[in-house]
Amino acid sequence: MGRKTIIENLIANGVRGLQPYVPGKPIEELEREFGLSESIKLASNENPLGPPASALAAIRASLDGLSLYPDGSGYVLKQALAAHYETDPNRITLGNGSNDLLVLIAEAFLTAGTAAVYDEYSFVVYRLAVQATGAETRVSPANPIRHVQPLGHDLDAMRALIDDNTRLVFLANPNNPTGTWCNEEELHAFITSVPAQTIVVVDEAYAEYVVHSKYPCTIDWIDEFPNLVVTRTFSKIYGLAGLRIGYSLSQPNLAEVLNRVRQPFNVNSLAQSAAVAVLQDLEYVERARAMNIEGLISLTDGLVSLGLDVIPSIGNFVLVDMGQPAEPIYTALLRAGIIVRPVGNYGLPNHLRISVGLPEQNQRLLTELKTILVTVS
C-alpha cells in the first residue's frame, strides 16, 4: 500500500466524507486570474461600507499589546455584550467567528450514534460541523417555491425528523442562502415542541439587518428554554468579517459546556477590542442598516425587471433564480469583475446569491447582468 493510501485509511470516519467549505472568491484571486482591477465582491454578505472607523481606532490602540495572549475569558467584551442585551455575562460564549461556536456546539453534543437536523437549503457549515463528529445528518426538506417563505425552513418537517437520538437542530433566521425567515409565533411554537434533550441552535448572523416587527427576540427566550442557543456575529452588519469574532447566548450551564471544548485563546485581542468599539458605534450600524434596506429594494426590483425570480429577503443578500444553469452567468460576471455566489453546493444549480452592495455596486451588477443575460440565453 502506498503511503498516500495509508493516510486515506487513517482518516476518522466522520471526516472521510467531508468536502472542504468553498468560500466566496476573494477579490485578489479574481484579479490575478483574469487580469482585472476595480473588481467588486457581492459574494459573502460582507458589509460594503468597509470596517467601522471606531473599530480601526480600537485596533490601533491595542497593537502594543500583541506580544501578550488575549484575555481568554473575554471579560471586557462579555461585559459590553451583557450590557447591550441587558443580560448576564455568564450566558455569553465568544467564538472565532460564529462558525467557531457552531463547531463547538457540534463537538460538545454530538457523537456517532446521535443525529442532528438541518434544512436542505441552509448554511453549509452545519453539515460540515455535524459530519466531522461522525453523527448522523438528517436533512429536512425546505418549503416549496410557492410559499410565503419560498425555499425557507419548514419547521414542521424539521420537527418530524427529531427523535430520541437527535441532539441538535440548526436553523438560521434569517436563513442563508434563501433570505427567508421564521416569525416569532412559529419559532416559539417550534422550540416549545422540541424535546428537552434536543438543543436548538438559532443562527442569527443577519438579525441586526431585520426591521420586521414579527421577527423574534429569541434572546428573551433563553430563560424559558435550557436547550436554546442563539449565535450572532460581528462579521456581517458590524463589518468585521476579517477579524473572526462571534458569540452565543444560552443559559450559563450550556455556556459552561461550550467553554470546555473552546480553545483557551480562540478570540484574538484585536478582535475583542474592535468588537467592544463597534458595539457602541450605533451610527455605523444604523447607516449600514439603512443602506441595506434601500439596496435590498433596488437590487430586488432591478433583478425582477430583468425577468428573474427573486426570493423576498430580509437579510443583506438575495437568492435569484436564473432560469438556467447559473454557472456560465457566474463566470461571465467574474469576467466583468463582479464576484457573486454560485449555490450549486447548496443544491441550487440555477440560482445565484448576491449580496447587497453600495448603491453604485448594485447598479453595476444589474447593468452587467442585463448584458450577460442577452448573450447566454
Ligand X SMILES: *Cc1c(COP(=O)(O)O)cnc(C)c1O
Please report, as ranges, the residues that interact with ligand X according to CB under 6 A.
45, 97-99, 123, 172, 176, 203, 205, 233, 235-236, 241, 246
Using the structure block, give the residue that is written with the C-alpha cell 448572523: 205
Minimum CB distance to ligand X smaller for 314 or for 336? 314
**Distance, CA of 376 to CA of 332 (rounded, Å):** 9
Let me know: does 320 contact 351? Beta carbons within 8 Å.
yes
Minimum CB distance to ligand X smaller for 109 or for 123? 123
Residue 65 CB, shortest distance to ligand X, in Å, is: 24
> Shortest Cβ contact with ligand X: which residue?
97
Residue 110 CB, shortest distance to ligand X, in Å, is: 18
Residue 332 CB, shortest distance to ligand X, in Å, is: 25
Minimum CB distance to ligand X smaller for 98 or for 114? 98
Using the structure block, give the residue that is written with the C-alpha cell 457566474: 330
In 3D space, the residue among 98, 170, 176 whose CA is nearest the CA of residue 130 turns out to be 170
Let me know: does 148 contact 173? Beta carbons within 8 Å.
no
Minimum CB distance to ligand X smaller for 279 or for 372? 279
What is the Cα gyration radius of the chain? 21
Structure letter (DSSP) for residue 203: E
Residue 315 CB, shortest distance to ligand X, in Å, is: 8
DSSP-assigned states of every residue in 72-131: TT-HHHHHHHHHHHTS-GGGEEEESSHHHHHHHHHHHH--TT-EEEEETTS-HHHHHHHH
**Distance, CA of 279 to CA of 83 (rounded, Å):** 10
**Distance, CA of 93 to CA of 71 (rounded, Å):** 13
Minimum CB distance to ligand X smaller for 54 or for 98? 98
Residue 377 CB, shortest distance to ligand X, in Å, is: 30
Let me know: does 153 contact 171? Beta carbons within 8 Å.
yes
Residue 176 CB, shortest distance to ligand X, in Å, is: 4
Minimum CB distance to ligand X smaller for 123 or for 330? 123
Residue 280 CB, shortest distance to ligand X, in Å, is: 20
Q: 161 — phi, psi (to 5°)? A: -90, -5
Minimum CB distance to ligand X smaller for 27 or for 241? 241
Let me know: does 356 contact 362? Beta carbons within 8 Å.
yes
Beta-carbon contacts of residue 5 (< 8 Å; ≥ 6 apart): none
Residue 317 CB, shortest distance to ligand X, in Å, is: 9
Minimum CB distance to ligand X smaller for 116 or for 372? 116
Using the structure block, give the residue that is written with the C-alpha cell 466566496: 24
